Structure 1
């Protein structure tokens, strides 16, 4: 590996020269190195899981981009050098985060966020015996982060289960025990 300094020609060149040399920039420095080939090591379990997760995210992105409105939404979020597909894969790779569940009288307030947007929040109220007494969709509040669900009753000893879903369909489940 060689670090190139004060060379006008190399300031403009990036990429590979045949199968011998690769020229790239890292942390503001231009680097010339021997071209790397594919790894001969077996992938680890974590690498295989990451590849599988990326393959699923890619498939979901392709399906979502068939809808012109969703494609326009992702395109509006794309920065320089990015496109709607890049944004859709990024969204499909991550699940939304349920940050907080709180009770305000007979209302369940869920704080859920995603880098892009949370598509829906479903709330299930379960009694002490484990029977679902009610369930339904929460409604997004004005702040764009809190979701509100008006419960008929919140039985003591039961629990509230919240499922937050992103646009691609990733979901996160969180529960709150009722005392």
Structure 2
């Protein structure tokens, strides 16, 4: 790959040149590529769905960078060559991840027990909600978890007795900044 440094001819250049080349500015560098060609095929249902999702992500990211406080938060998370827009766009596309091997084997249905789940996001987990149901499916309690000092674990302290907990469920809902929801349910 050829590289040109301090090129006064291409510095800051962007756009289409003739019908052959496209110049772009990426991370302070001028990138040259062939002109993209539009496909003559009709888009599939899946393609239309992805386009709609990308359109929503672009709207979200555009609104983020208009708010200087929120833009600064995303800029902090940006890695080399990324902008706040890029990070916000990616955040919209990907929801939080709840650990796959969740187990609440130590839960005995008593008040004051701590239930812990590890949850990560590509930007930030905004909130986590726990709901506990008994063996019959009746809601016993529900509430917000608190993030632990390690920044990975979310801790929910039970507030109600659940004498028929065996065979019941603990449901965890994790939300990120754009409002993506991830759900996990564990039998106890």
Looking at structure 1, the residues matched to 68 and 147 of structure 2 have their Cα atoms a distance apart, in angstroms, of 24
Looking at structure 1, the residues matched to 117 and 135 of structure 2 have their Cα atoms a distance apart, in angstroms, of 21
Looking at structure 2, the residues matched to 64 and 31 of structure 1 have their Cα atoms a distance apart, in angstroms, of 29
**1:50-85 per-position Cα deviation (integer Å, ceiling 9, x unaligned):** 111112222333444454332210012224443222
Q: Are the counterparts in 2 of residues 112 and 146 from structure 1 also a CA contact under 8 Å?
A: yes
Counterpart in 1 of 2:87? 87
Structure 2 residues not aligned, in runs of 5+: 24-30, 108-112
Moved more, 67-76 or 132-141: 67-76
SS at match of 1:169: coil
Distance verdict in 2 for CA 1:62–1:36, change over 3 Å: closer
Counterpart in 2 of 1:131? 138
Q: Are the counterparts in 1 of residues 64 and 85 from structure 2 also a CA contact under 8 Å?
A: no
Is residue 177 from structure 1 mapped to residue 184 from structure 2 by the alignment?
no
Q: Number of aligned residue pairs: give it.
A: 165
Counterpart in 1 of 2:21? 22
Q: TM-score scaled to structure 1, two decimals?
A: 0.77
Bigger proportion of residues as strand: 1
Q: TM-score scaled to structure 2, two decimals?
A: 0.74
Looking at structure 2, the residues matched to 145 and 7 of structure 1 have their Cα atoms a distance apart, in angstroms, of 42
